[in-house]
Amino acid sequence: MTGSAAVTGYDIYTEENGNLRLWTSLKALGVLGIYVSDLATRSVRDNFLVLIFGKPIPVGCVRKSSDPHVLEIDVEEAWKVSGEKAGWSNEVSIEVFMH
């Protein structure tokens, strides 16, 4: 699956503390790309927290793309590292917090 075919749900909003929160549910493993207009001025380590099923994933699974505005999350690698197992719906829940 590619593009929006793999996305089964999403929600984006600003929390009370000013952080942007993006939640998405995916039907397939792979690399999730998120457009961030000012990504060049941000640090993956300092400005992003990414969770898979509510658990932090290693910072090595998150990187800036060759496109200067795309943050890449290697969902497949995060899945393997986190030790998750396939569930009833086989969907993956990813949360991204940006500050």
We report the CATH number of the domain holding residue 12 as 2.60.40
Domain, as residue range, for 53 = 3-98
DSSP state of 12: E
Specify the pTM: 0.88
Mean pLDDT value of segment 21-47: 94
pLDDT tens-digit profile of 59-75? Answer: 999 999 999 999 999 99
Rg (CA), the chain: 13
Please tell me the total count of domains within the chain: 1
- Partners of 62 in beta bridges: 73
pLDDT (tens digit per residue) in 72-88: 999 999 998 888 777 66
Q: Which helix (H) or strand (E) holds 96?
A: strand 92-98
Taking residue 8's Cβ as centre, other Cβ atoms within 10 Å add up to 15
